[in-house]
């Protein structure tokens, strides 16, 4: 009789539910760790580049951490200032939304259409729109606002990563050890993140320049958000263009709004269809269904930041499942089960 591990489906579902419920309960703390892990995986190639050239491990980590501190502190200050300014201008945006909303109702009414059903929908009320938009943006940026906590976690993760990499290079780990498997997972994530981050950075810089030229408020913050949303394939572009286009509409009107939308479309089309395949190649082919399901699931479990972490988290989970199936298929990993099955025979 085979010693293959057998788990009742109901037990497996119960375990998954408990794990997901636990992740949802500790989401504020877990998000900090996951963002730190994502940043560590993103910055690890810089540490590896220094180590491969014979630089001391302490020096490589020190220079990398200093680089992250300078960039992170500058970005955190800019984002904090932008959030405060946006909160001060919230009444203006609310009034402008009310004006546009009322002019739209008047236009619909002039065409002989009954507007009572539209007016009854609270979803389109100015207060509701401003509240939903502010909550979503603050939910994403709040995790990055805990800069020093994220930085501290990232430092510890980088130290552990560098040690694992050095020992793996010296072949000090056994085959199928958790360190080598963890390295394999992070290597896949590093390839995905490096491809996405570089292409997203090119698009984000171009988008920021466009917004600065048009004169849209908080251009750097919208550029940063477009960089984060680049980690959501296919759907990220739609999420990144809505806030700056809406701000352009509220501040200047429809012409500037259309300029922002068309500009974003052109920039992201060039990056995704020309620059990205030319310089980076087609390393990953992620279906839009997987992206959409990941966005919904991880957004529900972790909150708004789950939309950013959705695809990397799904990739890691898929790799873990592959390792689990590999272990289950190896009977020598379950000697207790083998003894039990032999006694049953």
- Please write the tens of the pLDDT for every residue from 134-158: 666 666 666 666 777 888 888 888 8
**Of residues 66, 73, 45, 65, the one with CA closest to residue 156:** 65
The predicted model gives 265-294 an average pLDDT of 72
Residue of higher predicted confidence among 18 and 276: 18
* Encoded tokens for 105: 């109702």
Sign of the torsion angle spanned by Cα atoms 142, 238, 291, 193: negative
pLDDT at 1: 42
Question: How far apart (Å, rounded) are the C-alpha atoms in residues 74 and 82?
Answer: 12
Among the ranges given (114-128, 174-188, 207-221, 268-282), the one the predictor scored with the smallest mean pLDDT:
114-128
Which range in 34-43, 196-205, 255-264 is most confidently predicted, on average pLDDT? 255-264
Residue of higher predicted confidence among 55 and 275: 55
Question: How far apart (Å, rounded) are the C-alpha atoms in residues 171 and 98?
Answer: 65
Q: How many CB atoms lie within 10 A of CB 345?
A: 5
Residue 289 has pLDDT above 90, yes or no: no
First to last CA, the chain: 7
pLDDT at 131: 63
Residue of higher predicted confidence among 280 and 237: 237
Residue of higher predicted confidence among 23 and 95: 23
The three-state secondary structure class of 285 is coil
The predicted model gives 172-178 an average pLDDT of 72
Non-local CB neighbours of 342 within 8 Å, separated by 6+ positions: 1
Q: How many CB atoms lie within 10 A of CB 336?
A: 8
pLDDT at 310: 83
Non-local CB neighbours of 222 within 8 Å, separated by 6+ positions: 207, 208, 211, 216, 240, 243, 244, 247
206 pLDDT band (50/70/90 cuts)?
A: very high
- Please write the tens of the pLDDT for every residue from 207-253: 999 999 999 988 988 998 888 888 877 778 888 898 899 899 888 88
Average pLDDT, rounded, for the chain? 77
Residue 44 has pLDDT above 70, yes or no: yes
Question: How far apart (Å, rounded) are the C-alpha atoms in residues 213 and 221?
Answer: 15
Question: How far apart (Å, rounded) are the C-alpha atoms in residues 92 and 343?
Answer: 77
The three-state secondary structure class of 136 is helix
Find the farthest-apart pair of alpha carbons in the chain and give their distance in angstroms, rounded: 84
Element (H, E) at 268: helix 254-270
**CB neighbour class for 244 (10 Å; exposed up to 12, middle 13-18, buried from 19):** buried
Q: What is the pTM of this model?
A: 0.69
Residue that has been written with the tokens 């579902």 in this structure: 13
Cβ 207 vs Cβ 267: under 8 Å: yes
- Please write the tens of the pLDDT for every residue from 53-109: 888 888 888 898 888 888 877 877 777 787 778 778 878 877 887 788 778 777 777
Residue that has been written with the tokens 């694992």 in this structure: 164
Categorise residue 334: left if φ over 0, alpha if ψ from -120 to 50, beta otherwise. Answer: beta
Question: How far apart (Å, rounded) are the C-alpha atoms in residues 211 and 217?
Answer: 8
């Amino acid at each position: 009789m085979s010693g293959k591990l057998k788990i009742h489906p109901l037990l497996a579902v119960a375990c998954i539910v408990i794990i997901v419920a636990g992740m949802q309960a500790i989401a504020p703390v877990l998000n900090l760790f996951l963002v730190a892990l994502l940043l560590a995986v993103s910055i690890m190639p810089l540490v590896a580049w220094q180590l491969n050239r014979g630089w001391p491990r302490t020096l490589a980590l020190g220079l990398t951490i200093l680089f992250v501190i300078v960039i992170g502190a500058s970005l955190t200050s800019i984002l904090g200032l932008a959030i405060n300014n946006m909160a001060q201008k919230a009444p203006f945006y609310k009034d402008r939304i009310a004006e546009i909303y009322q002019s739209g109702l008047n236009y619909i009414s002039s065409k002989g259409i009954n507007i009572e059903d539209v007016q009854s929908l609270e979803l389109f009320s100015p207060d509701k729109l401003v509240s939903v938009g502010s909550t979503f943006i603050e939910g994403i940026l709040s995790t990055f606002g805990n800069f020093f906590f994220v930085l501290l976690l990232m430092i510890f993760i980088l130290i552990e990563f560098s040690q694992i990499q050095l020992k793996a290079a010296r072949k000090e780990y056994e085959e199928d050890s958790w360190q080598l498997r963890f390295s394999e997972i992070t290597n896949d994530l590093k390839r995905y993140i490096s491809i996405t981050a570089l292409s997203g950075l090119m698009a984000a810089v171009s988008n920021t320049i466009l917004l600065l030229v048009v004169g849209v408020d908080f251009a750097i913050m919208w550029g940063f958000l477009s960089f984060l949303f680049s980690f959501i394939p296919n759907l990220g572009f739609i999420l990144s263009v809505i806030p700056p286009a809406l701000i352009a509409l509220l501040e200047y009107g429809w012409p500037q709004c259309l300029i922002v939308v068309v500009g974003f479309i052109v920039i992201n089309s060039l990056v995704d269809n020309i620059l990205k395949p030319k310089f980076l190649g087609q390393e990953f082919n992620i279906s839009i269904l997987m992206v959409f399901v990941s966005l919904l699931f991880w957004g529900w479990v972790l909150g708004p930041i789950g939309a950013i972490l959705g695809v990397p988290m799904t990739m890691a989970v898929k790799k873990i499942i592959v390792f689990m199936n590999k272990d289950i298929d190896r009977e020598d990993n379950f000697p207790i089960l083998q003894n039990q099955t032999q006694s049953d025979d």
